[in-house]
Every structure is written in structure tokens, then in C-alpha cells.
Amino acid sequence: MPTTVILGAGIIGLSTAHSLSLLAPPEHRIHLVEPAPELFSSASGKAAGFVAKDWFAHAIAPLGNLSFELHRALADKHNGRARWGFTESPSYSLDYDDALSSSFPDDPAHHSDASAGDAKGGGGSEPGRASIDGHNAGEQISVSEPNGSPGQGGLDWLLNNESRATAADGDVVEKAQSESASAHDGGDLPRWLRARPEALQVISDRRSTAQVHPRQLCEFLLEQCLAAGVTLHQPARATKVWRDEHDPAAVTRIRVEYLGPLAQTSDGRARTVDIPCDNIVIAAGCWTPQVYTTLFPNASRIPRIKHRAGYSVTFKAKHWPPVRAATSSSSSSVPASSVCHAVFTNADGFAPEIFSRPNGEVWLGGLNPPTPLPELPTDATLDPKEIERLLVIGRALCGEDIALRTEGLCFRPLSVTGRPIITRLHEADLGDGAKPGGHDGAGGVYVATGHGPWGISLSLGTGRVVSEMVLGRETSADVKALMKW
């Protein structure tokens, strides 16, 4: 009976378990192991949830396209807008220096306002403007070619604290702009922003960008996995791979040690379980190197993964969702068009990203200061000063009366090439000791990590191709460039 153990129950691990539960025969056993006491406590629960079809470097583009179509298909099949906030959203680049107005586009005072937002630059004395010092994390990640052109990872914008909008494909931007309504005519303009229409440039239409609520998507995937018979061990961690050396017919097992309230049995012994395994998938995000070296301490190579911290907030804003005035047949205001938006900008030292969500909240992030990686994501400590830096931008763009809902700090895994690592490891790389031998010519040890700021977007595609690798099938997307690590 083939068995796969997936280490990490974030969006990548869950997507792999979900896809494998759909593709594998019924007798295939699937286990998820997650050490954090709270599920989805890092990027899988706190990220923006931006999903793009064609914003990727050449090496990643096939996976990006596959994943976007899988996001759309899953949402169509399971009412994704209602269940996890899937919505196809236009994307905008915002010229922050020319953006700020004293009123909102739908306010009567907006069209007569001629003074606010005229000042350029990052001066701290302007009313309603953010004065923010930049941070440079300085990770040693080579994402550019020697001649300075964007590298295969396409993450120059992230490491240089620039707007994600620079990653958008030029042809897509040109097409979106040619087909969009002008800002003055309204169209899909994000009218919940206190911004001049002239400062907004559409860079992608609803056919090639979307968004999800990542925690809600993870909760849905977990629900589907459990219903399909996947076993979740949480909080728990894998501590070793072993085989009875005295029994030539013995199977390889992975030992899982429970943590927290489940750590001990009633008689005080450590609570563990040994799971026979043909396949191990390490999908532990930033913590992948630690998991890898724990299981394979004599490995000749270790996946080189750095981390990038990301702060975020969600808040309620007066002008989102929009409400139009009462009609002649109604005495009360009624909801206006609720097209959700993704807006990317630069503001005095970092690159804010702001999303209007279907649930009526606004997500704001893009602040990535150097922050040590905690042992577990639940051990992360937020810096109030960084939260305030985000709120300054939120108040400037959405009004002084925004109501804070949540504060977040998550960690995104980056490989040294800037590309995800999605591969089956060669046995020689694992060193001496026990290792899973696979099943029927397939299987072994796999790594799926390094997705950086694109983890949510690439999640379903990654889950699909990793499942196909485990089952020894041809992958649905060409990921050969992502197998090199």
C-alpha cells in the first residue's frame, strides 16, 4: 500500500495533499505533518492572496499559467467567491506622489479639489503623506543576470523594494490599457481610494489576475483532504527516517513526534508514531532546510532557502465596499458595483500592496523589513512601529477613519536563484542512512519550496505537478527549470 508523508500543512503542502487525493488510487495513504500549534499561521493565512496568470519569469511561466487555471476551475466547481473569496480582479499601478486627493472620487468635493496631492517626493511635512524610511534586507540571492537584466526568478522587484507591478508582462499591460475604460469614465476604477484617477494605470484585467482569501482557501483544502481520508498530525514534527537494519524486508518508516498537549502519553512517555512511507514531500516553506537536515543529517547537499518577512494589516474602510445613493424607488442606499482591486505603488521606502476583498475588508502589505526567522511561525513577534508604517499609508489612501481588524507577520521562502524548487531528490544527495525507496518505480523524497511572494498564486499548480511526480506521471506543466537546485 503506497504511502506519502507531506511535511508542512501550509498552502503548498495542502495543495499537494489535495491533488494527490484526487489523482492517486484509493489505497494510496496520505499524511500531513505540521509542527505549528495554529494552522496557517504564516503566509498561508496572512498573505494578500494575489493570483496572476502571466506575471512570471520564463522559467516559472508554465507553472503560473497552470496554477491560474486550476484556481479558476476550483472556484467554479465549489463556489469559490463565497467560500474563499476568489474573485477575478483588475490590477492597477498607482503613482503615489501624484495620487493623494483630499476627497474620494465619488465625493462631490473631489472634482473641485485642486490642491491636495500636488506635492512630489517623500517629504514628511505634507498633510496626509507617509514619511517612511526604507529598509534593505540584503539577502544574498542572485535573481539578476550578470548584465543586470532580470534573472530567471524574476524577483528583482522584491529584493529592491520596488512595486510588484514591474513584474507584469508588457504585452498584457498594453492590452489591458487598450481595452480598459478611461479613469475619467469610471470603468473598474478603485473608487475606494483617495486618489486622483490620473495617478492610476491599469496593468492587468480580470482575465489574468485574481485574488483569494488564503486562510479560507487553506481551510477549504483541508476540509476536502480530511473528507478524502488524509490524516493530519498537528502539532507534530518528523524526527527521523529509519529502517530495521536487521530485516532485509523491512520498510522505511518516518517517525512523527507529537508536540504541545499531545506530546506525552498518559504514562508520561513521548507520544510518537512510525509511519511506513514510500514518499516524503518536504513543503515546509522557510523551515525546509531545518526539516531536511533533521531527517537526512549526512546529506551532501541542503536546499538553500532564505526567508523574507512580510508585515500586513487588514482594516475596514468607509468607502469599501462602495455604496451608491438611494434611488427614487428606494429610501436607503444600495450596494454599488463591488469589483475588487489589486493596487501596487511605491511610498517613501517600500512598495505597498493594497487589495479590496469581497468580505468587505482591505488588505495592506508590502513592508518587508529584516526579521529573524522564528523556530515556529507562531513564535513571531510583531513590531508595532512596522504596523504603524502600514497604517500611515492606509489612512493616506483610504481615510483617517479606517478601523484596524488584524495585524500580521509572515515569512516567505526564497531560493538563491529566486525560482521555486520543485524536484525529486537524487538518493546520493540524501547521504547515508535510511531513505524511502519509492513504489512501483516512482516515489522517493521531494522538495517543494522557494515560492517567495508567489506561494498562493503557484500553490495549486505546484500541488498538481508534485502529485504527478510522486505517481510517476508526466507533469501538467514544464517545470524542468525548477528541478535545478
| Whole-angstrom distance, CA of residue 257 vs CA of residue 274 | 9
In Å, how far are 29, 33, 340, 434 from 253, measured between CA atoms? Answer: 13, 14, 47, 9
C-alpha cell read off for 72: 479558476
Residue pair 344/128 in contact (Cβ under 8 Å)? The answer is no
The rounded Cα 109 to chain-centroid distance in angstroms is 38
Instruction: List beta partners, residue 309.
Output: 411
Say whether pLDDT at 42 is over 60: yes
Say whether pLDDT at 388 is over 90: yes
Mean pLDDT of 400-413: 96
Query: In whole numbers, what is the pLDDT of the chain averaged over residues?
Result: 85
Mean pLDDT of 37-48: 96
In Å, how far are 124, 193, 290, 392 from 127, measured between CA atoms? Answer: 8, 17, 47, 11
User: Residue 31 corresponds to which amino acid?
Assistant: H
| Whole-angstrom distance, CA of residue 104 vs CA of residue 179 | 25
Q: What's the pLDDT at 174?
A: 63
| Whole-angstrom distance, CA of residue 372 vs CA of residue 394 | 26
- What DSSP line would sit under 221-244, residue for residue? HHHHHHHTTPEEE-SEEEEEEE--
CA angle 431, 433, 437 (to 5 degrees): 90
| Whole-angstrom distance, CA of residue 61 vs CA of residue 67 | 10
| Continuous H helices in 57-118 | 61-78, 80-84
| Whole-angstrom distance, CA of residue 405 vs CA of residue 409 | 14
Q: Looking at 182-186, 221-225, 307-311, 471-475, which range is the least confident one?
A: 182-186
> Could you give phi then psi for residue 49, rounded to 5 degrees?
90, 25
Q: Strands 272-276 and 253-258: what pairing? A: antiparallel
> What CA dihedral angle connects 162, 381, 403 and 200, to 10 degrees?
10
Tell which residue, 452, 474, 457, has the closest CA to residue 465: 474
Most confident of 89-103, 181-195, 469-483: 469-483
| Whole-angstrom distance, CA of residue 483 vs CA of residue 485 | 6
> Could you give phi then psi for residue 465, rounded to 5 degrees?
-70, -35
pLDDT interval class at 116 (50, 70, 90): very low
Mean pLDDT of 59-79: 97
Contacts of 388 (CB under 8 A, 6+ apart): none
| Whole-angstrom distance, CA of residue 93 vs CA of residue 346 | 9
Q: Looking at 29-33, 102-106, 413-417, 454-458, which range is the least confident one?
A: 102-106
Mean pLDDT of 182-199: 74
Q: What's the pLDDT at 108?
A: 47
pLDDT tens per residue across span 235-270: 999 999 999 887 777 889 999 999 999 899 888 899
Q: Strands 403-415 and 272-276: what pairing? A: unpaired
In Å, how far are 160, 455, 479, 482 from 60, measured between CA atoms? Answer: 20, 12, 7, 8
C-alpha cell read off for 235: 502539532
Q: Provide the 8-state DSSP code for 474.
A: P
| Whole-angstrom distance, CA of residue 298 vs CA of residue 281 | 18
SS3 category, 25? coil
Tell which residue, 395, 422, 386, has the closest CA to residue 309: 386
